Structure 1
Amino acid sequence: KYMQRIKAVEPDLVIISLGTNDSYCFKFSETEMWGNMETFFGMLQQTLEDVPFVLTTPPPSYLRRSVKVAGKNRKGSKRRRNRYRTTYHFNDNTEKASRLIRSYTVEHGMACFDLSAAMGGEAETRQWLRSGLMHTDHIHYTVGGYTRHGGLVADALLGSIVRGKMDRSDQSKL
């Protein structure tokens, strides 16, 4: 039903952003993600036979790790209060997912915008977090952050139109 709803819109171009959920884990599986893309795009291409696709790689994010630490007894209670220390680690799986998506698009003749590279990597992602463009969960972005994402993709699309075609050999610019 979902594919039929997409077809009913009669799109001229479909832009698909994926990889964030696939890469947000401690045991990332390239094989599983590739298989999911094969299944999804098989259905999508069958539904939208002549519509071109542009894929975007996932934006950088952080993995959250909470570790239980010894807590103090509550006042007047024999039970210990559970306490957790939460840390965030740059999610290296995002780059793995990005490489996989870039490979997939080359193999299947699709255009790709490398959002991860366009955002500037780990150092720049910390800056997005400090400036309020990334939500405090270290995964999602604020309205301003998603607006900037959209601007990066739109600028790349407009650039490819100005050049007269989608240049599939330059993965970072479409």
Structure 2
Amino acid sequence: MKRNNVNRVLLNDFLGADYADYTDSFVSRKLHLEYSYLHCNPCNPRNPRLKFSYILIFFLLCFFPLHAQDPIPSCPLISKVTANCDTLRSYSQRTDTVAVPQIAFPSGFQQLGENELTDSLGILNPFWEKLRLLHAGFSTDTIRIVHIGDSHIRGRILPRTTGTLLTETFGAISYTDMGINGAFCTTFTRPDRISDIAALHPDLVILSFGTNESHNRRYNTLLHYRQMDELVRMLRDSLPNVPLLMTTPPGSYDSFRKSRRRRTYSINPRTAIAVETMRRFADDNGLAVWDMYEAVGGRQRACLNWQEAKLMRPDHVHYLPEGYVLQGELFYQALLKAYNDYVGY
């Protein structure tokens, strides 16, 4: 330091006062920059503030444990058993579904099919929703069902069995049957009959035909298809937003008599063809289907099941009251299954 001062004095004498002032200014700036770098630069490891920060962080890490948002348990609680969680679907089923009764078939019934509705397009969803609201107590509106068909409906036991059971389950149900003996699909294509159906303001229309069509020995699938199309078009013109549900016939026999011998009976082979035509028409035109024929045994066993259980009348076409009650219960069961499928999703 002394040597530097001597040098400064000699230079001052030799160069004069201006150089001395310049030197003092240069040294001052240098000292200022060194001080700033040491004390103000946060990246300088010699910065005292940075050293203090490092010491503070180390102290905190040593004496305070780290935690996430929720502390992680030191070991799993193996003794605890997790409870089953209800999904929205199970909650919906618990509150909205209804109990589906088991059907007591006569002991002679064999090779039964699935008793269910076919509705791949969800045609009946508006109807199911009205039932759901009624069942849950969110609606007090009466739900109106109109069931049209042939003599099986005209006898009233089948539709009234189904209607009574639906009323007991859901409440305000109006189930109106409009059956005509010997009716074909075209029997209801008269404008006055379409008007009578529309005047009831139905939420669902059920069509039950096929027995009389299939009893014609000159049965023609194309003609049958066209007859169904005519009826459905007229109904949709008058009731554009009302879903249609078609049911297939239960099965019947042909009768024969040779000369003066007793009348003999054989299974009507055209019933299965008519049922296939009805299902194809429904699939092509957006109708739901309840295939009773298949549910009670189909081509192989439907007629045999009814006959062996002694539920058919002597004409082998119509049924005893117990037979129609069973058919009404089967229809009711199929409706409940489809309803539960709707509210279960």
Counterpart position of 1:23: 214
CA distance in 1, matches of 2:286, 2:256: 38
Matches within 5 A, 1:44-63: 44-63=235-254
Query: How much identity, in percent, do the aligned residues show?
Result: 34
The structure that has the greater radius of gyration is: 2
Residue correspondence of structure 1 range 1-174 to structure 2 within 5 A: 1-68=192-259, 83-121=260-298, 122-164=300-342
State whether residues 60 and 125 of structure 1, in contact with CA within 8 Å, keep that contact through their aligned partners in structure 2.
yes
Rate the CA distance shift 1:124–1:18 in 2: closer, same or farther, 3 A: closer
Please state how far the C-alpha of 1:113 moved relative to its aligned partner: 0.8
Deviation at 1:148, TM superposition (A): 1.1
SS in structure 2 of the partner of residue 133 of structure 1: coil
What amino acid is the match of 2:267?
F
Give the letter aligned to residue 276 of structure 2: R
Deviation at 1:66, TM superposition (A): 1.2
Matched residues in 2 for 1:25 and 1:141: separation?
A: 20
Structure 2 runs not aligned, ≥5 long: 1-191
Tell me which protein shows more strand as a share of its residues. Answer: 1
State the shift of 1:116 in Å: 0.5
- Partner SS for 1:139: coil
Amino acid at match of 2:238: T
Q: C-alpha deviations, 1:127-156, integer Å up to 9, x for none?
A: 322333111111111111111111111111
Distance 1:135 1:40 in 2: 30
Cα pair 2:204 2:242 within 8 Å, conserved: yes
In 1, distance between residues paired with 2:335 and 2:206?
10
CA deviations on 1:76-122 (whole Å, 9 max, x unpaired) are: xxxxxxx2331111011111011001000110111001110011134
Task: Report the AA paired with residue 156 of structure 1.
Answer: A
Deviation for aligned residue 1:162: 0.5
More helix by share: 2
Kindly tell me the number of residue pairs found equivalent between the two proteins: 151
How far has the Cα of 1:164 moved from its partner? Answer: 0.6
In 1, Cα distance between equivalents of 2:305 and 2:284:
34
**Residue range with higher mean Cα deviation, 143-152 or 92-101:** 143-152
Provide TM-score, normalisation by structure 1. Answer: 0.82
Consecutive unaligned residues in structure 1, runs of 5 or more: 69-82, 166-174
Alpha-carbon distance change, 39 to 124 in structure 1, aligned in 2, over 3 angstroms? closer
What is the CA-CA distance between 1:25 and the residue it aligns to? 2.5
Runs of 4+ in 1 over 4 A off after TM superposition: none
Do 1:129 and 1:136's aligned partners in 2 also have CA atoms closer than 8 Å? no
Partner SS, residue 67 of structure 1 = coil
TM-score with structure 2 length normalisation? Answer: 0.42
| Superimposed CA distance per residue, residues 37-96 of structure 1 (whole angstroms, 9 cap, x where no aligned partner) | 11111111111111001101111111011111xxxxxxxxxxxxxx23311110111110
Q: Is the 8 A contact 2:267 2:303 kept in 1?
A: no
1: CA distance between counterparts of 2:243 and 2:194? 15
